[in-house]
Structures are given as C-alpha cells and as structure tokens.
Amino acid sequence: MSDEKTRQQKNQAERAERREALARGYEELTPKGGVAVKAWTLGVPFEVAAQRQLENVARLPFIHSHVAAMPDVHFGRGATVGSVIPTAGAIVPAAVGVDIGCGMVAQRTSLDASQLPDTLAPLRAEIERSVPHGGKGGRGRDPGGWEELPKPVARAWRDLERRYAKIVDAHPRVEHRSPAQQLGTLGGGNHFIEVCLDEEARVWVMLHSGSRGPGNRIGTTFIELAKRDMRRQNVRLPDADLAYLEEGAEFFDDYVFAVDWAQDYARVNRDLMLARTLMAMRRILPSFQADPTRAINCHHNYVVRETHFGAEVFVTRKGAVRAREGDLGIIPGSMGAKSFIVRGLGNPDSFDSCSHGAGRAMSRTQARKQFTREDHERATADVECRKDEGVIDETPGAYKSIDAVMEAQRSLVDIVHTLRQVVCVKG
C-alpha cells in the first residue's frame, strides 16, 4: 500500500471519528492500561499536560466506569481542574483540592438596569466595606477577615464550631488561627462578588468563594497524610499528588468527616456574604429588594456519594458543577465576560456534570507577562472593578472563551439566563 493511500485512509478515519464525537458531544481518550476519558472539549483548547493528567487518573485502579473532562479543563495539582472523577472505595484528596467546597451563589433582585445609579463606584465601595476580602488587614488581625464578628456570623460559627473542634482534636495540624473570622469573607485570587444584568436587564448578585483558610488547612493536611500512606504501603504513582485514601484506611473516615464540614462551611460562607452584599445594595439603593425566588448555591470543588452506572461511588468534581436533570447551576465567565445560569440535562456520561467556568487559558505567571494594565483596562472598560496590576492575572484574556465553552457542553446544560457584570469586587 502506498504512503499516499495510507495517509488518505488515516485522514478518513480521523474525519469519521470527528463526526462521531460531534454527534455524541465529546471526544474520547483511551489511555493504555486505564479506563476511557470522555472529554467535552470540542472547539476549545485542550492542553497536552491536562490530557496526560487525565490519563494518569484514568489508570488508578479504583476508577468507576470512566473519567469525564469538562470544556474548561486545564492543568491542576495532581488532577486537572474541570474533571469529574468517580471512585469506588477510595478518594484522592488532591483531586478534591484545598479550596474545598468552593462554588457559586446567585440571587436575582427586584431591580432593573434603569434603577441603578449612573455611577457605580459608590455601590462597589459599599460592597467592599461590607464584605472582608483579599489579604487586607492590620494590627495583627486576620488578613481579609473580621475584626469583630457580626451577629449572623457568630451564630453561624456556633453551628459549625463543635464539628470543627472534633476535627482539630484528631488532627491538630488542621487548626487554623481564625476560622470564625474568615467565615462570611471573600478571599482573593479568582474569588469575586458581582452585580450583573440578565437578558431582560434585571439585576442579579453573584459571588464565588469557598472554605477559605480552614478548608485549605484540611486539604493540605490530608493530602500529606495520603502521601504518607502511599509511602508506607510502597505504592508507586505517576504523580505523588494522586495519593489516595482507601475506605478502611487509618485516615479515610476522618477525611470524609472533615471534607463534609469544609463543604458546609463553604456554603454557609457564601450565604453570609450574599446577605451582606444585599444589605450593602439596600443602603445605596433604597428601592432595592431581593427577589423572593430562592438563591442558587452550588459547589464546584467537592466530593459526594452518588449512584452512577449501577453503583454507589464517590464523585469528585474538581472544577465542575452537578447538573442532574433540572438542577440549576452557575457558570461564570471572567472579569468582563458574560456568565450563565443553567439548567442541567442529566447527561449520564458526564456523571450529571457541567463546567464550573471558562477555565484558564494560561497560568497566572503567563498572564502577568503577556498582559499590561492598559490591556486589562480595555478588556474591563464596561465594568466597575479594579484596574490595577494586582488583578492582571484575572483579566479576561487569561481565560478560555466562555462562548466556546458553552457551545462544547450543549449536551450537558441548557442556558436559562445570560448575565453580564457591571460591578466586580475582587480581593
């Protein structure tokens, strides 16, 4: 057979495979010695390093059925951000991550765009005064935390404190110096509070945060304990950060208890910040009221027991949102890019999941090298937000196209509302 004919046959096979992928909505990787990886990445960048990470995960002996990759997938610690990992009898702590329970909350208000002030800087400033954020602080108090706990925060902490004390008693290294002071606070990085307008010019509040320092300490501690367990058992892994805890192992139950607590802390954290943000808006906008519809609150870094393909398993969503049929979820873009309220379609191949955002197109270091302050100002010209060098790593160009991401997951979710931000608070 001639080289030309061989090349033609190869091209025909690749085109046929592409048509099949388009029909089912995902591409499929078949790593040697592992389960399949089903990737909703058609039309979006899919870095080779992320593919290798997914293949490493797919080779773990306790993966159930297959691994799913969302269209915002990108390289992470151990496991890729934007992956769904079903496991039977074991959990990989680094796949859950250190921002345990990180996620989103969104609430529609009674306002429309015509009721917003012409100048939005005072509204942003009032939200920033109302919700501690970033690493600011002084006089020895916790950076980005409360100096004195508001009553709702103190009440919420009392409900969380007893379980936290149990975790710290068993694992003293988990203890954080100010878990109560960080409850109801934003943090920094890609966490944000936004005021948005939907397709009918109605005003929404949307925010993104997780379990702050306490969750980080839990994640970091148990990642190290899992690695220690692997060394003790002489288990060799392609990546040390894929260290796992098996059911029945010394620290497994402690980890499940601790991660459940951190996920509760994260959800309460978002609820408290949402309430504070709505109060701040009410002070600036006297006619303001929250819409009576329930807020949408969803994790996107977490582990939970679910049933898939006939078995109860642990499902780790590392940068992914649960999207069972009818579930409402939130998929944010980036600063200056639109976001989406979505309804899940319950796609079983994705383990009832969808993306958690646009996904980074480059590292923070790359973004700081590639973009200037002027670039960032142009990209966020229509948003009342920080324009300084400190947020250049969060500029829209550092992220994938949210439109391409949404197109790639048409088989996972329907779009209910399209939001564009007019105010963005960053830590």
What distance in Å separates the CA atoms of residue 124 and residue 322, rounded to the nearest whole number?
31
Question: CA 338, 194, 107: angle at the middle one, nearest 5?
Answer: 95
* Nearest alpha-carbon partner for 94 in 74, 84, 81, 79: 79
**Spatial contact of 208 and 187, defined as CB atoms under 8 Å apart:** no
Count of beta carbons in the 10 Å neighbourhood of residue 411: 15
Catalytic residue among 64, 299, 300, 356: 356
The amino acid at residue 59 is: R
Strand pairing report for 36-39 and 66-74:
parallel
What distance in Å separates the CA atoms of residue 196 and residue 113, rounded to the nearest whole number?
9
Which residue has tokens 């009440």? 155
* Residue 176 is a catalytic residue: no
| Pair of tokens at residue 410 | 């048409």
| Pair of tokens at residue 5 | 């004919």
DSSP string of 85-135?
EEESSEE-HHHH-SSTT-EEEEEEEEEEGGGS-S--HHHHHHHHHHS--TT
From the number of C-beta atoms within 10 Å of its C-beta (0-12, 13-18, 19+), residue 5 rates as exposed
**Spatial contact of 80 and 94, defined as CB atoms under 8 Å apart:** no
What distance in Å separates the CA atoms of residue 18 and residue 56, rounded to the nearest whole number?
24
Strand pairing report for 81-87 and 66-74:
antiparallel
Name the residues annotated as catalytic.
356
